[in-house]
Amino acid sequence: MQRDSVSVFVGLGANLGEARHALETAVKAIDQLPHTRVLQCSSFYRSAPVDATGPDYINAVVLIQTRLNAYALLRQFQAIENAAGRERPYRNAPRTLDVDMLLYGEAVIQSEHLMVP
């Protein structure tokens, strides 16, 4: 990866369908994004939904290196979610896949479409 790349922490979660498979597929898809590579992936872990109902989530955190800007990366993450059948019927709804940008280098981003951290 070139010098202008940035380290990004990504949270993954799913609690519908084949949740573990959805996370494994997401990690592979992220690693195949342009100018991006996965450096590390945490163990998968289970957590109860917060402010929501439904089955427990399977979660992981991934460290990536990318040259994509935060908004381009967000669009790529949304495409990965959509490919996994992600729907957004209401806030905190159960989901087939959630891909969240937790940290984008040291940037603080507060916009209508993206909030980091």
Active site residue 86: yes
Catalytic residue among 37, 56, 88, 95: 95
pLDDT for res 93: 76
Low pLDDT (below 50) residues in the chain: none
Catalytic residue among 3, 67, 86, 88: 86
pLDDT for res 81: 95
Active site residue 95: yes
Active site residue 4: no
pLDDT for res 3: 60
pLDDT for res 45: 97
Q: What is the pLDDT of residues 91-107, one digit of tens each?
A: 777 889 999 999 999 99
Active site residue 37: no
**The model's pTM:** 0.91
pLDDT for res 50: 85
pLDDT for res 87: 78
Catalytic residue among 3, 67, 88, 98: 98
DSSP states of the chain as a string? --TT-EEEEEEEEE-SSSHHHHHHHHHHHHHTSTTEEEEEEPPPEEE--SSS-SSPEEEEEEEEEE-S-HHHHHHHHHHHHHHTT---SSTT---S-EEEEEEETT--EESSS-EE-
